[in-house]
Amino acid sequence: MLDLTTKRICVTGGGGFLGSFVAGRLRERGCHQVFIPRKRDYDLTTADGVARLMTDARPEVLFHLAAVVGGIGANRDNPGRFFYENAIMGIQLIEAARRAGVEKTIIAGSICSYPKFAPVPFQEDELWNGYPEETNAPYGIAKKALLVQCQGYREQYGMDAIFLMPVNLYGPRDNFDLHTSHVIPALIRKCLEAQASGGRELRVWGDGSPTREFLYVEDAAEGLIAGAERYSGGEPINLGSGVEISIRDLVSLIARLCGFTGAIVWETEKPNGQPRRRLDVTRAGRLMGWRAVTGFEDGLRRTIDWYRSHAGL
């Protein structure tokens, strides 16, 4: 087991949603050398930004969590940007880590890399058995390329780079911007704002039939740290709750928890995204001793309470 408390650790994306929880948990564990690069100081899409980061941070352990992400609409509007920026950041960072002799590199992948019609529950061995869902494909393929890089570098250079794939995340500090957010924060914001303004209608993309699996952000942070401490293999590992819910049921649940009692209007002309998502999380338990512990409704309540307090609703 790797003792992280003695290491110089760099967390890219450490000021963001997932990264802030990872950095916080590391400090709670007694890690006192945690470096968090800010985008304004280190543009990780450039070779110069990556080189300066490695010089300044001198990491022995690198968590690469920085990403350009969004929901269906954001992915559909930015396929080129989402492919390029996610690919180039990861490719340059992994190469820089190799050159610097970083002891352990942890790459956060994405379940958007799975084929559109992968058998449910998604098993890691199914990653290459088809093309990803179209609206997420550029992002998902960019992330999957980093898995190939990690495996290639492990084979050729003996680099200890692991690839962990969190399912859709949610929780406090999420992105609640309606133009770029994922489904849970978008629904929470819409419900609370409608309730506050007296609105009687909630409009939701698609027909409600797709299913999704969600992982509370603090559980995801623990999963990434568990991987850093306990896993040094070349195979990708799913991080998920193993619980599947339809978008229709999700909307009803969030509306109830928010106290919204108006009508749900389904915009069926809008895309649904991938038909189903649920992960097989056996490998994470077997190889890392990790499992999600936060109940879905409990996690939603915490997220709603956080946004209500921060938005003044």
Active site amino acids: 139
CA distance 8 to 18: 19
Q: What DSSP letter does each residue of 140-206 carry, written as one string? A: HHHHHHHHHHHHHHHHHH---EEEEEE-EEESTT----TTT--HHHHHHHHHHHHHHHT--EEEEES
Nearest to 89 by CA among 61, 120, 68: 68
Whether cis (ω within 30° of 0) applies to the bond prior to 185 is no
CA distance 230 to 106: 12
For 212, the token pair is 């999704």
CA distance 196 to 203: 16
CA distance 100 to 60: 9
Report how far apart, in Å, the C-alpha atoms of 90 and of each of 77, 86, 155, 168 are. 22, 6, 18, 20
